[in-house]
Amino acid sequence: MSKNKKQQFNEESRKKGTNLVIAGLILVFIAGFAAYMFSSNPSSAEDRLRFEPGNFNIGTAYAYEQVTPMTVIDNEIQGENVIISLSDVLDVGLAATRVYVENNYKDYMPLTAFINPSGQLVVSLGVCEPCRSETLRIDGEYLICESCRTVWRLDNLQGVNGGCMDYPPEAIYYEVVGDDIVIPHEQLSSWTPRPL
């Protein structure tokens, strides 16, 4: 009888040891996977920039107190430029407009414009390229794709979470003249999605 108890004790100890090893391996795997998912390469968004973004600053910090959806504003074509109103962007928070062009993407280009927390005006192509969504929102200090729920930081468009982190809306060049945000049309007509 004591032999069976000893044998039974040894088998249970072996099972417990095996279970602990398996549990440890699972924890290591989960920790590694979580680290991979929540880490982001700080240079990845910068490496994908193809345009020199504009650099206008309103001169004061800017905070979004509530969730801010996209609001459609008008644009105007003047010669080789697209014009949108800085006042409109300041009024709505996250401005969206469509500029009709001929390119390899669609017959129009969606544009977005907003002020980041440091007061910098950001004008970008309003598309989350991998999922092709053209609808975004601002929530606090984050820009969020309404389709895939990818999250980017407003201050630098660095990916935080989601499947499209390395493809923030692509910031483009602009100049501010008075109340006009002047965007060269060429950037829009020559644009193609970044390689995935």
pLDDT, one tens digit per residue, over 55-70 is: 999 999 999 999 999 9
Q: Residue 51's pLDDT is what? A: 74
Domain ranges for the chain:
1-39, 44-189
Alpha helices in 39-167 (DSSP H): 44-47, 86-92
Q: Residue 46's pLDDT is what? A: 46
Alpha helices in 41-174 (DSSP H): 44-47, 86-92
Assigned CATH for 44-189:
2.102.10.10
Q: Residue 68's pLDDT is what? A: 96
In sequence order, the 6+-apart residues with CB closer than 8 A to the CB of 196 are 129, 130, 167
Q: Residue 196's pLDDT is what? A: 81
Residues of the chain with pLDDT under 50: 34-47
* CB contact at 8 A, 113 and 125: no
DSSP run (H or E) holding 9: helix 2-38
